[in-house]
Structure 1
Amino acid sequence: MTWPPLRAELQGVEPYGAPQLDVPVCLNVNENPYPPSAKVVADIATAVAEAASSLNRYPDREFTELREGLAAYLNTAGAGVDQGGGITADQVWAANGSNEVMLQLLQAFGGPGRTAVSFAPTYSMYPEYARNAMTGWVAGRRHEDFTFDLDHARDLIAEHRPSVVLLPSPNNPTGTALPHDVIGTLCELVAGIDGVVVIDEAYAEFRREGTPSALALLPEHRNLVVSRTMSKAFALAGARLGYLAAAPEICDALRVVRLPYHLSAVTQATASAALRHADELLGKVALLRAERDRTVDWLRAQGHEVADSDANFCLFGRFSDRHAVWQGLLDHGVLIRETGPDGWLRVSIGTAEEMAAFRDALTEVTR
């Protein structure tokens, strides 16, 4: 007997987590480097103080005001729906970070005897969500350049008949986005086996001009789920608010598995206040896009391979010993992420000053 008596598949497993180190330049977890302004902070503080006056009562279990605010935001061009969208509050669900959104989806539509599928390289937490929801996990592959291999996907879906397909777009860790025809085809393939397709758009606001959002496909596919977060573009990683848009029936299903009153009054107040300042909070997105494009161009000019990125990070390589490069950067006070396929590293996009420090350090390390 081992103690504590963990489930067999959890024994010996290390908990997920990127390094949290005190370094001058932290570019490893795709955070927005620009904090909320004093005006936004003051409005959030006022909203939280108001919520605190009734903390003896449970919060609104249906988080109605927040769902209405999120729906209104998703119907703006900045969110990715250029023609009004028509997304309503009953199509929106929220939880404590998109991590909890994904876990709830797998609890509702996965489970024993069912399978979830993604295509590597993909977000490293997906198999952990599946494991925690006791759902089988199958990882297919992408093309060598990280674009999506639709023929391979057809074969894998036919073989494993997944109840859930999980795909980030832009993809983490590569930054590549999925075209609409791929998403539509996947929805049609999975609809035939009563499955759902989850497009994880955590980095959607950073898309390059002309890269579409899956939100526009919601009216065409009742089995499509589009997940978002306020952690990245909204600069609210510490608030822990993720959300999705889908058919009302999917949102209703998630009510079955959610914990009672899962969104605190403080979380709801914080997110609703932030939405009132969406234009300001998203105001740095254009700067980060431009800095990303400059970083991609510079890395390629230095002879590195770089994946096309629609996110606020870049995957670059290839290194015979990527850990040595990662450590060398850390020794220069720059923390990036050792993730993705072997030989590749990922750098989040920071301020102009932080990216200059990254360039200087990488030049020294790879000299």
Structure 2
Amino acid sequence: MTQDTPTDTASAVNALIGRRIRQDVQSMHAYAIQDSKGMVKLDAMENPHRLPADLQEALGKRLGALAFNRYPDGRVNDLRQALATYAGMPQGFDLMLGNGSDELISLLAMACDVPVQPGQAKPAILAPLPGFVMYAMSAQLQGLDFIGVPLTADFELDVPAMVQAITEQQPAIVYLAYPNNPTANLWDEADMVRVVAAAKAAGSIVAIDEAYQPFSSRTYLDVIRANPADNSHVLLMRTLSKFGLAGVRLGYMMGPTALVAQVDKVRPPYNISVLNYECALFALEHADVFAAQAADLRAQRSRLLAALRALPGVKAWDSDANMVLIRLEGAGEPAQKVFDGMKARGVLVKNVSKMHPLLAQCLRLTVGTADENTRMLKALQESL
């Protein structure tokens, strides 16, 4: 009996992949996470503040007492109610939970993958570009078309282009990140209303992604409360990642009860672990601590913007999130040069210059602590 060589095994695996794994999946790239060991990590819009020591101890005791041998129980509904109260959820709305907003985005695409008749176009997902990569990825993984509508040169909504695309393409879902990622800006409220109205006329669901709400000067929830009839097709998504619990992985989506109930049917059972919901409940009980952290980051954002705008060869855009988008001037590839220079000095940011033509020579900087921002500014200045 002969034994297969590593080459034989690799050939067999490759043949199996070629036969059984979707071709579009084979051509995709997995979501890349930068190695941040030993770095000042300012690339992923995380809250840089840890829990105070006394809260660490209290949470540890609480988590240690959980029944890990049991599936998650009705306590998850306590979290749903706590989040509804915290967010000020409107009457007639319900709320569903996801393992981060990423899961909610995937579940919404799955729920909207309506079979089409011969000759009809596939359901589509539409979003402005540049934007959060998971909107397009969720469409691709679900076999839906993705329609990207470029923003203006100043990263504002191109309202005529958005309205025209929605009217012509009749997408199943329109995503509007508010504020947007990676540009960090908050779009004009009147522009948002016009796009939301066009989507309603087209029979589209609008998903407004407020991941960065703790740092934003406005929320679209106020518009929804004031005009519920005009927003009966709107779902509003948030996450506790930017609240300060990125490692917990918990997102939530609010919307009209009947609509949320349909999307909730495709949610896996027990998708929120006992650790997820107990950490989130604990955090909401100490919301004042996280609110103070958000206030500090907003103050640091103002300081960072002022310092960036004093640097020659750097353009910094206004931000309503815990990140700042900058563009580097100069010949060649200044964004890559500065990114490499900052990394060599122990500061990790995000090079977004290849994500979309509108982001040419742009870096995205997460707002950190006062010390982290000082180190980032020093590394940036030395790398220019």
TM-score normalised to structure 2 length: 0.87
Q: Give the aligned CA root-mean-square deviation in angstroms.
A: 1.8
Which residue of 247, 264, 276 corresponds with 1:238? 247
Which residue of 260, 265, 274 corresponds with 2:274? 265
The one-character-per-residue Cα deviations of 1:259-290 (angstroms, maximum 9, x if unpaired) are 11211222111111111111112211111111
Instruction: Write the distance in 1 (CA, Å) between the matches of 2:25 and 2:112.
Output: 22
Q: What is the aligned partner in structure 2 of residue 223 from structure 1?
A: 233
Q: What is the aligned partner in structure 1 of residue 51 from structure 2?
A: 36
Which residue of 339, 342, 347 corresponds with 2:360? 342
Three-state SS of the structure 2 residue aligned to 1:156 is helix
1:156-235 paired onto structure 2 within 5 Å: 156-207=165-216, 211-219=217-225, 220=228, 221-232=231-242, 234-235=243-244
What one-letter code is carried by the residue in structure 2 that aligns with 1:349? V
Query: Following TM superposition, by how much is the alpha carbon of 1:245 offset from its aligned partner in structure 2, in angstroms?
Result: 1.5
Query: Following TM superposition, by how much is the alpha carbon of 1:204 offset from its aligned partner in structure 2, in angstroms?
Result: 1.0
The change in CA–CA distance for 1:182 and 1:240 in structure 2 (over 3 A counts) is same
Which residue of 24, 27, 37 corresponds with 1:22? 37
Which residue of 54, 72, 83 corresponds with 2:85? 72
What one-letter code is carried by the residue in structure 2 that aligns with 1:28? D
The one-character-per-residue Cα deviations of 1:207-251 (angstroms, maximum 9, x if unpaired) are 1xxx3201123342111111111111x211110011121111122
Instruction: Write the distance in 1 (CA, Å) between the matches of 2:178 and 2:54.
Output: 32
Equivalenced residues, count:
350
Instruction: Write the distance in 2 (CA, Å) between the matches of 1:34 and 1:109.
Output: 38
Instruction: Write the distance in 2 (CA, Å) between the matches of 1:310 and 1:110.
Output: 33
The change in CA–CA distance for 1:222 and 1:46 in structure 2 (over 3 A counts) is farther
Structure 1 residues not aligned, in runs of 5+ = 76-84
Three-state SS of the structure 2 residue aligned to 1:118 is strand
The one-character-per-residue Cα deviations of 1:117-142 (angstroms, maximum 9, x if unpaired) are 01111112221111122221010111
Instruction: Write the distance in 2 (CA, Å) between the matches of 1:47 and 1:129.
Output: 36
Larger Rg: 2
Query: Following TM superposition, by how much is the alpha carbon of 1:62 offset from its aligned partner in structure 2, in angstroms?
Result: 8.4
Three-state SS of the structure 2 residue aligned to 1:140 is strand
Instruction: Write the distance in 2 (CA, Å) between the matches of 1:192 and 1:273.
Output: 42
Q: What is the aligned partner in structure 2 of residue 326 from structure 1?
A: 339
TM-score normalised to structure 1 length: 0.90
Query: Following TM superposition, by how much is the alpha carbon of 1:61 offset from its aligned partner in structure 2, in angstroms?
Result: 6.5
Three-state SS of the structure 2 residue aligned to 1:91 is strand
1:97-136 paired onto structure 2 within 5 Å: 97-110=100-113, 113-136=122-145
Q: Is the 8 A contact 1:218 1:246 kept in 2?
A: no
Q: Is the 8 A contact 1:337 1:347 kept in 2?
A: yes
The change in CA–CA distance for 1:325 and 1:92 in structure 2 (over 3 A counts) is same
Which residue of 287, 306, 310 corresponds with 2:320? 310
Three-state SS of the structure 2 residue aligned to 1:58 is coil
The one-character-per-residue Cα deviations of 1:317-345 (angstroms, maximum 9, x if unpaired) are 13441112111110011100011512100
Instruction: Write the distance in 2 (CA, Å) between the matches of 1:28 and 1:41.
Output: 25
The change in CA–CA distance for 1:330 and 1:138 in structure 2 (over 3 A counts) is same
Pair 1:48-2:63 in alignment? yes
Three-state SS of the structure 2 residue aligned to 1:269 is helix
Query: Following TM superposition, by how much is the alpha carbon of 1:352 offset from its aligned partner in structure 2, in angstroms?
Result: 0.8
Which residue of 24, 44, 62 corresponds with 1:9? 24
The one-character-per-residue Cα deviations of 1:3-47 (angstroms, maximum 9, x if unpaired) are 423211111322012303213311000111101122332333233
Instruction: Write the distance in 2 (CA, Å) between the matches of 1:241 and 1:264.
Output: 10
Q: Is the 8 A contact 1:110 1:164 kept in 2?
A: no
What one-letter code is carried by the residue in structure 1 that aligns with 2:85? A
